[in-house]
Every structure is written in C-alpha cells, then in structure tokens.
Structure 1
Amino acid sequence: MDLRHLDSFVAVAEESSFSRAADRLHVVQSAVSATIRNLEREWGVTLFHRTTHRVELSPEGRALLPSARAALQAAAAVGHAVDEVRGGLRGTIRLGIMQATQGAGGISVAATIAAFAAEHPGVTVEVRQGGSADQAERVRTGELDLSFLGLPDRDLPGLDVTVLAEPAMVLVCHVGHRLAERGAVELKDLAGEPFCDLPPAWGVRVANDRAFAAAGLPHELAYEINDLATIADFVAHGLAITITLEMMLAPGVPLARVPIRRGPRLAVAIAAPAQRPSSPAARAFVTMARRHALVDGPAH
C-alpha cells in the first residue's frame, strides 16, 4: 500500500463513483478499480458495495475512511513543510464556492482566484460548487481545503472562519406587488405571502428559515428552486416573492427591491478547518480573499 492507494480509496468514497474518482485523479477508471481491488485483498475487507447505478461505502470502508484521510493529510503536511523550506508555493487548493459567486457580499470570487493565480502560478485551484451548509461540512471532513460560505453565523463548529462581508438582504417582489413601493418592510408584513427560495443547504435559505423561525412567523414556500435566475423569473411574473442579497440578482430584471427592518443577514466568509493545519498555499489564499474583500466590498 502507498499513498496513491489511499488517494484512490478516498476519491471513490467522496465521489461515490469510480469514473468521477478517475477523472479527479487524472487516471483511467480501470486503474482506480484495480487499486481498490488490491486494497480490499490486502486489508481483507470489502470497502465498497457496487451496483449498476451506485457505489457506496461498506461499514468497514466507512470505519477506515477517517484514518485514510488522516494519513493523506499527514503526508500533505510534510509536503507543505518542504515547500516552505524551499520557498515559493506549490500544490493544489480544493476550494468550495457558492452558487452566486459573482456578487455575494460585493466580493468577486473569480477576481480573487485570478489574482491569486497571477501571484502564485505554482498553485492549482480546483473549484467545487455547492450549498454553504454542505460546503462547510466538506471542509470539516477534509474533502475541501477552503470554502467561501454565506451563512447567518460568524462562528461555525470545527471551522476557522474569516468574515469578509455582512451584507443586508432585501425583499424582492414584482413591481406591481402591494409592498413594492414601501420604503421598508418587516418580516411580519410578509406573513401569508408565497415564497420562492433556494434549497435548505444554501446559505440564503438557512438565513431566511432561521429569521422567520426566530420571529415566530411562517415561511411558506410555494417554489424551491436551485438557481437565482429562475427564482428572479418566477418573482418577475408575480408567482412569489423572495428574500436575497440584492447584488446576487442580475441587473436589468424588472423587480422591486425593498429593505427589511431586522431582516435576515448573511456573514459572507471563507472557512478553513480548525482541527488541522492549513497548507501555506491555503493560508495565502485566505490572505488574498481578505485583501479582495477590502477592495471589492469591505465588511461592516
């Protein structure tokens, strides 16, 4: 067994697919399958249950996965130390991003990555998109090195959180809606309105659910949709209202934006694991993200 065997095991476990694991490792699928068979023979256990459509960890595989991840992280730490001794940054950062990365909190994730690449050409940034709650868990487990998050909390268990901005969220409704001309609204004014919102793991949805629950008010979802452009289209046609960050909406869409007194808020942040050391490259990326937050949209 060598580290490449462990890497294959972890990749198949995280991707739930031999083909996706092969793509991730830049090898052919047959090589990944052969590695897993060799590991199972060497360890004397079945690591995965395979069907025509699914690959899932066996109980033995689930028990061994944390140790495999820990071994890979220890090996990576040695590599990071070598890089620091040599000078210069190398390696790969597995970075989680949110859906609406173009304007969350006024911060351009793409601009941050571009600036980092220009400054540290020896580092590859691999991007994986998902809901903030799911991305936070992937940082905790080691599947991601860092992730941009938009969640209500400034402090998250198991994570070292650097808050970049705390933008206000607004009511978004059809221009002919009864509340469209109001100077501001409160959550109680929205009781009984049909809402269009993102799935439960997305930060905007978490913030909305939590704010309505704290106010003791219903958050009645008529539509659950996982992209903001479609949500905006539903709202523009008067099917529902929504609460989101104003900068997440594409310009030019005929929608009313109304401030909310004591409404939901997000902490747009970048999160690293708290329980294990980050690589020099990951630490440098956090520094770059903070620098761009100050340029593009200072936290307040």
Structure 2
Amino acid sequence: MFQERAENIKSFDGNELFFRVYTPAKKEQRESKLDGVVLAVHGFGEHSGRYAHVARAVCSKNLAFAIFDIRGHGKSGPTRGDAENLHAMVLDVIFMTNHVKEILGLTKQKNSFFGLFGHSFGSLLATYAAAHLADSCPPLFLSSPCYGVKQNIPVWKKFLATKVAKFLPNLVAPIGIPPNSLSNNPENNEAARHDHLILTHITARMGSTFLGALDEKKIVQAIRLIRAPATVVAASDDKLVKIEVTKKCVPYFSHNDSSFKVIEGAGHEIFNETEQCRSQAISDLLKWIEKSG
C-alpha cells in the first residue's frame, strides 16, 4: 500500500513543475520513518503519472518515490510542448534533487538512501545533471538512456530545429513517435495512444533543445565528470534509441560500482513491458537500491 501527494512546485526560475510524492501507507503515526527516497525523471513526451506501479515497488522497501513532470510536459509549465533550452531542463533536475532532500528531511537524517532514476530522455537529463552535481551526486539508475536516436529524423524537422527555431521558436510540429515503438506490450502501447497527457506536438525550440542534447561528444564529456556509481539498463529490442551508442558510452562511467545490463526481448519502455521483462526491470531497480543503500 502507498499514498500519493501532488502539488505544483516553483523551480529555480519560478516556472511551475507538477510534482508527485508516493510514500508507504502507515497504519499508525508512530511507525518508523522513511529509509530514503528515489527521485525519478521521466522520458521525452510522457509524464509522471505513468510510474505509479514503479512507485508501488519502491514504497514496498519503505522508501518514498518522487517524480515531476519535466519542463513543458504533463502539467508542468511554462507551455505544453515547449522548453526554453536544455540548460533550464537540467537545472530543474538539480533543483528537484535538492528540493526532495529538503522536504523529506534527508539533509538532517544520517544513513538515509537517496537515488536518482532516469528513463530515456530523463536518463540523458540525469546524466547532464549528475555531471554538475559532482561530489553531491547520488547513485544513478539509468534505463534505456537516450544517448542516440534510432529512428531517422526527417530533414524538414531538423531544419525546423536548427534554423527556423531561432526566428519562430513557438512554431509547432508533430513529434511523430509511433505508439507501437514504445514497447512490445500491446496494452501499454494502446494506453499511451489514448493518454491525453502524452505530448503529440512540440515547438521548434523544444525540437532544437532535444537535438542539441544528443551531441555524443557532450554526453561523453558529461559522463566523464560523473563521480557517482551508475547502473545502466538497456533493452535489446529498443526501437527508439540506439543501444550500440549506449554500449559505446557506458565505459566512460569511471566509478568502480557502475554496471551495465541488457534486458533481452524488452522494448524501450522496460517498466511498461510484458510481465516477464517488466518484472525484470523492477527487480533490477530494487537490486540497485539495495546495493547502493
């Protein structure tokens, strides 16, 4: 059993981010305090409401699960489908890292666990944030990290993002991610198709932000700066990101406790996969908590 609390939080620049915290349900007030928290950063186009089942698993370990709608996604500002730049999105992750520690009292509580979990584009944002956090960076769990895009981006979309965005930043274009490419679980893909909070269109400026974040040299440079252990879990049948780029980047995680694993038969959304792959992904997440705690 777990309980959810949701609210709008003003980020570093006053922009409102929709924020959820899941905590274990307690029958009595005198029950033990939380043993820590996992802060999650969701993927591009999706939203925080798609992780309740992951939160349930984390809460079963007497931990809180915190997650927010990243800038321009879900119920977060400034405008749906838009974000000023990558810098602002990364600073949101750093801001939320500090905010979550503060509200759950982890800054005063010794021996409590704090971990940063990212999925897909959220893994990429977490990677950049971790490089800036330096010695204060928590352990990382990065699932299906978006270090390279598998599907070909049409030339006209690249033109919008690289040229037009400077003059018409709010021009809107479709994302074009087929729901069937999300996973090998038809039920998940169909649910995503009808989820009105999943983005279908973004601004040219958001497209520019996304493409700019995928610079492999910048990604490797960021990974080299990360001092915390990273657990990277990829999907063998990922139709959205290039697993070969992930494999290429993983060796640059220098911490001795870092690890890499591929879930065979899984599609991109490993936590929304068919039961066997989904159970494996959740098991890997809980093992990461146990190992890092």
TM-score by length of 1: 0.29
TM-score by length of 2: 0.29
The structure that has the greater radius of gyration is 1
